[in-house]
Amino acid sequence: MKTTRLVATALLGLTLLGGAAQAEPSAALRGRIAFMRCAACHSLGAGEPHKVGPNLRGVIGGSAAQAAGYNYTPALRQSDLRWDDATLKRWIRDPAALVPGTSMAYSNSLGEADIEALLVFLKSAGH
**Binding region for ligand HEC (CB under 6 A):** 37-38, 40-42, 52-54, 56, 59, 64-67, 72-73, 75-76, 83, 91-92, 102-106
| C-beta closer to ligand HEC: residue 32 or 102 | 102
| Angle value at C-alpha 86, between 48 and 57, nearest 5 degrees | 10
Residue in 125, 89, 118 with CA at minimum distance from that of residue 27:
118
Contact indicator for 104, 95 with CB cutoff of 8 Å: yes
Contact indicator for 114, 96 with CB cutoff of 8 Å: no
Shortest Å, Cβ 18 to ligand HEC: 28
Shortest Å, Cβ 27 to ligand HEC: 16
Shortest Å, Cβ 90 to ligand HEC: 11
| C-beta closer to ligand HEC: residue 30 or 83 | 83
- 32: number of Cβ within 10 Å: 18
| C-beta closer to ligand HEC: residue 13 or 58 | 58
Shortest Å, Cβ 26 to ligand HEC: 19
| C-beta closer to ligand HEC: residue 4 or 83 | 83
**Strand blocks (E) in 15-119:** none
User: Looking at this protein, which amino acid is placed at residue 14?
Assistant: L
